Amino acid sequence: MWFSTRPRALFAMAAAVLLLAGCGQAPVRDAGTAAPPGGGVPAPSPAADGVKAPAAGAPRPATPRPERAEEPAPARAPAHADGGSRSGAAAAQELIARAGQRFSAGDLAGAEQILERALRIDPNHPVLWSNLATLRLEQGRPAEAVELYRKSNRLAGAERRLERYNWQMMAAALDRLGQAGAAREARARAGSLAR
């Protein structure tokens, strides 16, 4: 069994946590309800060609408001209206760390509860979903883990390293499920992201 030892899983978890800490520019998701002018609005394009290349990972507001078009154009689409920090991100981060401690102590159910708590606070946090997947793998539920890694990748945006890690883990989970073909594919995806 490739994944039967705890240290490896532990490392995986820690790696995922570090990953996010390392990439400070997490994809932004919170537009803020009480948006100050300009918040969440893409820069107006001087060229009326109708085409705008989106900044990687930046979400689009559904409702561009013409009356805000005269706001100064931000260099990158600002993700946020509430001052640049995703609300709840720090809280989620703290809970992820706490869950990591429970995980190290072998309290998987406890770690899971805390991760779910974090998820209510920051539902689109990709690392959170990845850790939840790792936890499932450790609990011996690889099928569920695969789906959770998928979910993490869905939210990973421009986080290439996380995405690559998720594909690698997914490959391992698929191996466990005896799905060699799918596992090979997942490894290939991971490999393609390495470059």
Q: Does 6 bind another protein (CB under 8 A)?
A: no
In which residue are the tokens 């260099």 written?
A: 75
- Among residues 52, 106, 180, 188, which is the contact residue for another protein, using CB under 8 A? 52
Which one of 2-10, 14-22, 152-160, 175-183 is the stretch in contact with another protein (CB under 8 A)?
A: 152-160
Q: Near another protein by CB under 8 A, which window of 13-21, 87-95, 166-174, 184-192?
A: 87-95
Nearest CA to 115 among 77, 106, 103?
103
Among 15, 19, 23, 61, binds another protein (CB under 8 A): 61
63/42 Cα distance (integer angstroms): 10
Question: Does 94 contact another protein by CB under 8 A?
Answer: yes
Specify the DSSP element, H or E, that contains 141: none
Stretch that binds another protein, among 15-23, 82-90, 168-176, 185-193 (CB under 8 A): 82-90
Using CA atoms, how far apart are residues 26 and 40, in angstroms rounded to an integer? Answer: 16
| Three-state secondary structure string covering 56-115 | CCCCCCCCCCHHHCCCCCCCCCCCCCCCCCCCCHHHHHHHHHHHHHHHHCCCHHHHHHHH
Among 5, 45, 101, 192, binds another protein (CB under 8 A): 45
Instruction: Check residue 159 for interaction with another protein (CB under 8 A).
Output: no
- Pick the binder of another protein from 71, 74, 144, 185 (CB under 8 A): 144
- Considering the rule CB under 8 A, would residue 74 count as an interface residue with another protein? no
For residue 75, the tally of other CB atoms under 10 A from its CB is: 7
Q: Can you say whether residue 157 is alpha, beta or left, with left for phi > 0 and alpha for psi between -120 and 50 degrees?
A: left
Measured from the CB atom, is 7 or 66 closer to another protein?
A: 66
φ and ψ at 194, to 5 degrees? -70, -30
- Interface residues with another protein (CB under 8 A) are 27, 29-35, 39-40, 42, 44-45, 48-54, 57-66, 69, 79, 81-82, 85-88, 90-91, 94-95, 109-110, 112-114, 116-117, 119-121, 123-124, 132, 144, 147-148, 150-151, 154-155, 157
